[in-house]
Amino acid sequence: MTDNDISFGVHAVQALLESHPDQIMEIWFQKGRRGGRVEKLIEEARDSGIPVKFVDRDRIERKAGSEQQGAVHQGVLALVRAAKVYRENDLFALLDELDKPPFLLILDSITDPHNLGACMRSADAAGVQAVIVARDKSAPLNSTARKVACGAAETVPLITVTNLARTMRDLQERGIWLIGAAGEASSNIYTTDLNGSVGIVMGAEGSGLRRLTREHCDALVHIPMVGSVSSLNVSVATGICLFEALRQRTQH
């Protein structure tokens, strides 16, 4: 059983149980830890035919990764089937099957699993059809990312590519307009047309988009800010960009 095969925390396991119960092999509950949400989860798991096991706290903490993570598992841990790994060929097969204009999220050098999970969660909520990352410049879709994603890791394909710039060129050849977020850009996200076939490109907090990634964007935009801080967390910025695109794409 690898780190990719677990999900922990009441909310994360609840979301997984509601969206993909077939992915859950077994759920562990901490002995002696009960309460309304936990009782409801136990009942739903049993109703779905999922085996339930009551174990000591330290066993859950060992499986969750470390004692430092013990405060967030909330006494609940699910053993799940590993998330499918998607590659370049899967991306273009997915695009060929779409019956609506592509809406993609490209993440450049997002190496924090918490940020990856939060971006996946926003992508799912905004209707993104796939999230694309570079194989060597991305956080893994591990248990931490899956917990933060709250089920989105099972609904939105995370596609790992070997060369992000090359994949971006391939997407452009398919008529997909790539919009990169950059603080110094003159255009802003709210005045940019995000309808049609679009990919939103986000870089790491602080360093932003890498040079090659930036050069392969069709346009760069910034998020207007009026406060004293100079930047936003990448997952927050991603959510803003995706939901502005969703607003535009659903107002007609």
Q: What is the mean pLDDT of the chain?
A: 89
CA–CA separation, 85 vs 213, rounded Å?
23
What CATH number was assigned to the domain covering residues 88-250? 3.40.1280.10
Q: What is the domain partition of the chain in residue ranges?
A: 3-80, 88-250
> If pLDDT is split at 50, 70 and 90, which confidence band does 126 have?
very high
Residues 184-239 have pLDDT tens digits of 899 999 999 999 999 999 998 778 899 999 999 999 999 999 888 778 899 999 99
CA–CA separation, 222 vs 153, rounded Å?
27
Question: Is 203 marked as binding a ligand?
Answer: yes
Q: What angle do CA 7, 8, 14 make, to 5 degrees?
A: 85
Question: Is 212 marked as binding a ligand?
Answer: no
Query: Among 44-53, 126-135, 222-231, 241-250, whose mean pLDDT is lowest?
Result: 222-231
CA–CA separation, 120 vs 23, rounded Å?
18
Q: Would you say the pTM of this structure is higher than 0.85?
A: no
Burial 143-179 (b: 16+ CB within 10 A, else e): bbbbbbbbbbbbebbbbbbeebbebbebbbeeebbbb
CATH entry, 3-80, from 1.10.357.10, 3.40.50.1100, 3.40.50.2000, 3.30.1330.30: 3.30.1330.30
Residue 102 has pLDDT above 80, yes or no: yes
Structure tokens at 218: 């069709």
